[in-house]
Amino acid sequence: MRMKMVARRPVPRWLAAGLLLAAALLVVVQGPGARLEAAGSRVFVPLQRAVAGAIGGAVETVATIQQARQLREQNLAYREEIDRLQAEMVGLRELELENQDLRNLLGLRQQTPQGEMLAVRVVARDPLPFAQVLVVDGGSEQGLREDLPVLTWRGLVGRVIEVEPTSARVLLVTDANSSISGRIQNPDSRATGVIRGRNDQWLLMQYLPQQEEVHTGDLVITSGLGGVFPAGLPIGKIVQVRRRDQDLFQEALVEPVAPLAHLERLYVLKPDAPP
């Protein structure tokens, strides 16, 4: 009796894969879950660290932005405070200069006749190069009138030539139309002459007698002749003497005592008695 041979069927691939997966699961889950925890740790700890690092970096970035904003606001506040203090310093400096000007003016008051000193400020200059004229912020409403002397604490700078209600025009001593009777303040000579402007920074003193002793450095003051300027106001100092034997008179170049190119605060002398 012959035995029949039964052919073996091949194991399906899906069944083999399932068996292998089951075996792998048995290996992983064997023991008290230690291997599973180890596998999970290897997968999730680096991910957790990365997430934590990203969150920490974002927090630091936000804090840095907030700190930069606060510093910018503080710097802005500091700059505003510095600007305010600088403005106050400028104002205090102006007050200091004005007080110094008034203190110096007290010394000039001892040389001038009794009268009222009206303080004015220069607000404009004549743009024409051949006109030495200023505009001040005082006028007839403040008591100004024509031919009043205009001074600084150093001495005479000019006279009022035109008056409006709230402003006035001042002709400087350096203008070619300016003419002042002056006297040399020198113990050896009390010579008088006429001081004229030249439309530049110098004055010319003319009609000084030849026999008079005139020296460089002598102070020239107003003589009081003519009735416009009171006597004794400083005008300038002699810087050069011009003398020729054939002439009847000598003349002198005079430098004004006041810096006429940088005038700011002026004082109009209003005598108690009318001229």
Higher pLDDT, 188 or 111: 188
| Mean local confidence (pLDDT), 128-140 | 88
In the chain, what percentage of residues exceed pLDDT 90? 35
Beta-carbon contacts of residue 111 (< 8 Å; ≥ 6 apart):
232, 233, 234
Three-class secondary structure assignment of the chain:
CCCCCCCCCCCCHHHHHHHHHHHHHHHHHCCCCHHHHHHHHHHHHHHHHHHHHHHHHHHHHHHHHHHHHHHHHHHHHHHHHHHHHHHHHHHHHHHHHHHHHHHHHHHHHCCCCCEEEEEEEEEEECCCCCCCEEEECCCHHHCCCCCCEEEECCEEEEEEEEECCCCEEEEECCCCCCEEEEEEEECCECCEEEEEECCCCCEEEEEEECCCCCCCCCEEEECCCCCCCCCCCEEEEEEEEECCCCCCEEEEEEEECCCHHHCCEEEEEEECCCC
Express each pLDDT in 204-250 by its tens digit.
999 999 988 899 999 999 998 888 898 889 999 999 999 888 888 99
Model pTM greater than 0.95? no
Q: Are 230 and 271 in contact (CB under 8 A)?
A: yes
Q: What is the pLDDT of residue 173?
A: 96
**Integer angstrom CA distances of residue 190 from 31, 166, 184, 194, 207:** 131, 40, 5, 13, 13
Q: What is the pLDDT of residue 73?
A: 82
pLDDT grade, residue 30 (50/70/90)? Answer: very low
